[in-house]
Structure 1
Amino acid sequence: MDELSLSVAVVLSVLASCAFAGAAVLQHEAIGHQSRRSEHDQVRRTRLLSLGFLRDLVRRPLWWIGFGLSGLGAVLNLTALSGAPVAVVQPITVLSVPLAVLASRWRAAHTKAGHARTASGPSLWIGVAAAMVGVTCFVALAARHTTSHPPSALPILVAGVAVAVAVVVLVLVGQRGPDWAHSLAWAGGAATAYGLAAAYMKTIFTQLEHGIGLSAPTVWAPGLVLLLAYPVAAYMLQNAFVSGAPEVVVGGLTVIDPIVAVVIGAWLLGEGSGLPALVVAAMLACAVVAVVGVVVLSRHHPDAQRARADHDVTDLRTDPRPGTERMTQ
């Protein structure tokens, strides 16, 4: 890997971050408009997109613009992976978090979509800062050893099964967990699938570079998984937008995605085999800081605070105990 290839990969990753941030804001706005329609009350209650909702959603030009930006970001990201290790490329997308915050604020100030937004408190920016610092330090440590080796079949299979189990668990949390965790769980499921896809894509590139043909099971099998992982992750991401702000969704996506991708990359490609135990421990600590930052962001985002307040009012109005109805009058 030469210095020019690494520089180009970094630039492409930064551009991908900009595209992902813009896509998140626009798709969240389109889904918000759609979910406020009376015929989609069930979607708001279940936080699970129906086929009817998706059919109506794809008729919105704003959603397609966001979808196009998301596709552009994915292409830029995959191109960057062809020239640099997973441990370098994926964590750069954490730049999408502050970019999404700024883009969302700008969009709210210049469109009708900005109604009833609560002012951002310090907790939101603390969460953003923790997520960025955690992932930045994580990639700085991970990038110290970036040599990739072709993987064998067993680690590829184990990684796929582990991610499938994690995605199922996160989907269940997204449907049945606490209100503040719904969006984050859906985004986490999407991020886990995207992280696997990024690592699998890098395994394919690495094997091709070492002269392994497309007919090898360790090449075409991950390719088939990619065909499934991307649409599944995209569907989970749309569910995340139903109940969460774009900053929260992007935060969960860009923190969990690189951590999953780097861990799988280290397992499959040996990208972290030369790291001492102390550095690995420091990487784990950075990952914890980043995840805590996203949790803080999801709990203290103005949209989440307003949703909790609305939920409390609804509980008071529906409380069967004597006297509670008078409290809300």
Structure 2
Amino acid sequence: MISILFAVLTAVSNGTASVLQRRAAATAPEEDAMRFQLLRDLLRRPVWLGGIAMSIVAAVCQAVALATGPIAIVQPIFMIELPFTLVLGGLLFHGSRFSRHVWLAIAAVAVGLALFLMAAAPSGGNASVSSGSWPVALLATGLFLVVTLGIGLKVHGNARAAALGLAAACGYALTAALMKDAMARLDHGAGALFTGWQIYATAAMGVGSLFVLQNALQAGSLAASQPMLSIGDALISTSYGVTLFAETLRTGWWLVPQVLAMGVVLAGCIGLSRSPLADGMAENPSERGVPAAV
């Protein structure tokens, strides 16, 4: 229960961070994309710094969650970050009530996630990763990032936001796996945490993923980047849990409700992405010529 509680707190903190960072990044010059000048510009924006503060809170909560529960349980819970992000963004940018369509989509994400966890029933697993497993995982992750980042650099707008959002999701999933492995070293004392390479790799991947995410948020709407970030993080993290930490999921006929549950989640995400709630959240509705009601 502790891991679930802190996983929820992580999702809420990350959602808040995304909204604040989106508000700041959306007004940054487009020519700063994929350049460190973007971060220098954002560092001068209090709203963005507030988002970073919430990201730090999320990192602490995530560390506690991963140290007390399987990664295949903790990371999928982060899918609630999407509806929370859009609801908070709608309140911040529109300040109005939400339609029944929006609430049904939010319910679909929540119910689908609950059904998936019940059907998959992640359990077991090791607290740490065997040293021989990391090279293969890092190579596979590196190839995936090369492809997604390459696509992101070739396209523009929401397509770039989606590609970079998926790349960021992969980076954050790897960060979670590294963090869980690093936290396991605490069993040998606090000093062991800082003598292992995992904690430094966690920091490096976290910073790199943050940089990619800022570019995803700058490139297009949250409707394009956030679903890829939330669902991608959950699914990739689950694969890390199974392959690196030997966690188990139900198989056989249980795969049917798992697939159906993910379909419900996907339908909810699509519904949220198509709603005015997720359209141009950094803009003032009155300036865009559209009604504020969502």
TM-score under structure 1 length normalisation:
0.72
Contact 1:182–1:243 under 8 Å retained in 2 = yes
> Greater CA radius of gyration, 1 or 2?
1
2:90 is aligned with 1:109: no
Aligned residue for 2:94, secondary structure, equals helix
2:15 is aligned with 1:21: yes
Q: Tell me, which stretches of 5 or more residues in structure 1 are unaligned? A: 1-6, 307-329
Q: How does 1:55-134 map onto structure 2 within 5 Å?
A: 55-110=40-95, 122=101, 128=106, 131-134=109-112
Q: 1:240 aligns with which of 190, 208, 216?
A: 216
Q: 2:120 aligns with which of 112, 125, 142?
A: 142
Distance 1:77 1:235, change over 3 A: same
Q: 1:265 aligns with which of 226, 238, 241?
A: 241
- Paired with 1:287 and 1:109, the residues of 2 have a C-alpha distance of 29
- 2:250 aligned residue: 275
Aligned residue for 2:247, secondary structure, equals coil
- What is the Cα deviation at residue 63 of structure 1? 0.6
Question: Which stretch has the larger CA shift, 167-176 or 131-140?
Answer: 131-140
Aligned residues: 279
Distance 1:227 1:63, change over 3 A: same
Contact 2:3–2:74 under 8 Å retained in 1 = yes
- Paired with 1:133 and 1:294, the residues of 2 have a C-alpha distance of 12
Contact 1:148–1:206 under 8 Å retained in 2 = no
Contact 1:130–1:290 under 8 Å retained in 2 = yes
Distance 1:71 1:42, change over 3 A: same
- What is the Cα deviation at residue 139 of structure 1? 2.7
Q: 1:159 aligns with which of 126, 131, 137?
A: 137
- Paired with 2:158 and 2:104, the residues of 1 have a C-alpha distance of 17
CA RMSD of aligned residues (A): 3.4
Between the aligned residues of both structures, percent identity stands at 27
Question: Which stretch has the larger CA shift, 147-156 or 55-64?
Answer: 147-156
Aligned residue for 1:275, secondary structure, equals coil
2:6 is aligned with 1:30: no
Q: 1:9 aligns with which of 3, 10, 17?
A: 3
Question: Which stretch has the larger CA shift, 137-146 or 251-260?
Answer: 137-146
Q: Which amino acid aligns with 2:55?
A: S
- Paired with 2:124 and 2:105, the residues of 1 have a C-alpha distance of 29
- What is the Cα deviation at residue 245 of structure 1? 3.0
Listed one character per residue, the Cα deviations across residues 237-287 of structure 1 (whole Å, up to 9, x for unaligned) are 101111233455333222111211111111111111x63333346545544
Listed one character per residue, the Cα deviations across residues 130-152 of structure 1 (whole Å, up to 9, x for unaligned) are 54444433333333423436432
Listed one character per residue, the Cα deviations across residues 28-51 of structure 1 (whole Å, up to 9, x for unaligned) are 111123x2xxxx2434xxxx2423
- Paired with 1:222 and 1:278, the residues of 2 have a C-alpha distance of 37
- Paired with 2:137 and 2:208, the residues of 1 have a C-alpha distance of 17
Contact 1:248–1:301 under 8 Å retained in 2 = no
Q: Which amino acid aligns with 2:26?
A: G
Contact 2:70–2:122 under 8 Å retained in 1 = no
Q: Which amino acid aligns with 2:213?
A: L
- What is the Cα deviation at residue 180 of structure 1? 3.3
Aligned residue for 2:58, secondary structure, equals helix
Q: How does 1:206-221 map onto structure 2 within 5 Å?
A: 206=184, 209=187, 214=192, 220-221=196-197
TM-score under structure 2 length normalisation:
0.79
Distance 1:285 1:265, change over 3 A: same
- 2:165 aligned residue: 187
2:147 is aligned with 1:169: yes
- What is the Cα deviation at residue 23 of structure 1? 0.9
Q: Tell me, which stretches of 5 or more residues in structure 2 are unaligned? A: 281-294
Distance 1:89 1:170, change over 3 A: same
Q: Which amino acid aligns with 1:88?
A: I
Q: Which amino acid aligns with 1:225?
A: A
Q: Which amino acid aligns with 2:204?
A: L
